[in-house]
Amino acid sequence: MPRLDAFLEPFIESMARQEQYDHASTYVKGLLSDLEQKNVESIAYRFGQERLGLQKFIGISDWDDELLRMVLAEQVGQQLGEQEGIISFDPSGFKKSGKNSVGTKRQWLGRFGKVDNGQVAVYLGYVSSKEHALVDTRLYLSKEWADDKKRRKQAGVPEEIRYKTRHQLSLQMLDEKGSLLPHSWITGDDEMGRPYWFRRALDKRNEQYLLAIPSNTLIRDMDAEPPAYKGVGQPPKRPWQRVDKWIKSLHENEWTTIDVRDGAKGPLEVQIVKRRVAARTNQRRQAPQETRVVTRYRNRDEKSATETDYHLSNAPYDTTLEEFARVAKGTPSD
């Protein structure tokens, strides 16, 4: 308990009143206790308190959780921070049985691979050779929810909260916490890497990214020879290709094999290839040149790849394949 009290101190010292301070301590201890049902009522009774005070603190008491998350970001940056660190964004959904919790609706829940009733949040994680940690989160509020005044009032959504895409929420967290977390890379899954405007927004912030992209992303291979000019009209451009179709045209000797770490089934190998490419924007235009990085993973004793990931990056083309592999899998540096 003394260690827990010392841990809690910098987080809850911002509480305006002593009773808030006490309730915060009680609630966290309850979450870490041996209670089977860790709701407010059970936690209050576990520590010999009336439930109403703790319910008020959790439900309607006025305290700023952003201050607590800022303390967390500062601690992670100070204790785990390294210049080669990685900031990673990941939207994640969780099921809900009702419809009144903030943001709950039928929507895509990536964790479960289907549309279901639930909430979605975007998480900011940090990875270094020392450790990894979740640092911040934003609950996604769909346009339907954001425009529904009745539901907003019933759920207590503050007036200043407006509709933001998951990418906008990620940029908001980056702008607020990025300077506290030493890093060289921004990563994210294929939902994060899909829109060109998000990659462009990171580039304008001088952030180096390696973002996954969907397998049907259209690209032009700038290292490939363009079609022969027939002397009539404009010179032909390199064709648009889906990345998953392009990958099948590669010869096996074009892949480089790298050991990255031990996996659950033994040593894990990454086979990796990179190319200069230009992706197509939503306006069907050619985006500025990026580096396409494709990674295939397999256990050393298995012949076939267990997973293939496609990425785009604004990193210099001479970035080593080993560095791309490390970042793609969030592998700590030596």
Domain for residue 192, yes or no? no
Determine contact, residues 145/42, Cβ cutoff 8 Å: no
Q: Kindly state the average pLDDT of the residues 139-149.
A: 93
Examine the domain organization and report whether 35 and 72 are in the same domain: no
- Give the whole-number percent of the chain exceeding pLDDT 70: 94
112 phi and psi angles, rounded to 5 deg: -105, -5
In this structure, which amino acid lies at residue 77? G
Number of H helices, E strands in the chain: 12, 12
Residue 71 banded pLDDT, cuts 50, 70, 90: very high
Query: pLDDT tens digit string along 222-262?
Result: 888 877 777 777 777 888 889 999 888 888 899 998 876 66
Residue 334 banded pLDDT, cuts 50, 70, 90: very low
Domain for residue 189, yes or no? no
Q: Kindly state the average pLDDT of the residues 1-24.
A: 86
Domain for residue 203, yes or no? no
Residue-wise DSSP of 244-257: HHHHTTS-GGG-EE
Examine the domain organization and report whether 49 and 69 are in the same domain: no
Examine the domain organization and report whether 49 and 157 are in the same domain: no
Examine the domain organization and report whether 52 and 75 are in the same domain: no
Nearby residues of 208 by Cβ (< 8 Å), 6 or more positions away: 184, 185, 186, 313, 314, 315
Domain for residue 257, yes or no? yes
Helices (H), 13-132: 18-31, 40-46, 51-59, 65-80
In the listed set 167, 183, 199, which residue is the last one of a domain according to the structure? 183
Q: What angle do CA 327, 330, 334 make, to 5 degrees?
A: 80
Radius of gyration, alpha carbons of the chain:
24
SS3 state of residue 235: coil
E-assigned strand segments in the chain:
86-95, 105-109, 114-127, 132-139, 185-188, 209-212, 218-221, 241-242, 256-263, 266-280, 286-299, 307-313
What pLDDT shows up at residue 250? Answer: 87
Examine the domain organization and report whether 118 and 74 are in the same domain: yes
In this structure, which amino acid lies at residue 297? Y
Spacing of C-alpha 201 from chain mean position: 16
Examine the domain organization and report whether 10 and 79 are in the same domain: no
Domain for residue 39, yes or no? yes
Q: How far apart are CA 271 and CA 273, in angstroms?
A: 7
Examine the domain organization and report whether 178 and 69 are in the same domain: yes
In the listed set 146, 164, 183, which residue is the last one of a domain according to the structure? 183
Query: pLDDT tens digit string along 281-306?
Result: 877 788 888 999 999 887 766 666 67
Domain for residue 195, yes or no? no
Examine the domain organization and report whether 53 and 84 are in the same domain: no
pTM: 0.88
Name the strand (E) or helix (H) holding 3. Answer: helix 2-12
Examine the domain organization and report whether 263 and 175 are in the same domain: no
Q: How many domains in the chain?
A: 3
Domain for residue 200, yes or no? no
Residue 155, pLDDT > 70, answer yes
To which residue do tokens 């987080």 refer? Answer: 11
Examine the domain organization and report whether 221 and 323 are in the same domain: yes
Range of the domain at 243: 212-328
Examine the domain organization and report whether 218 and 312 are in the same domain: yes
Domain for residue 131, yes or no? yes
In the listed set 146, 167, 183, which residue is the last one of a domain according to the structure? 183
Examine the domain organization and report whether 100 and 172 are in the same domain: yes
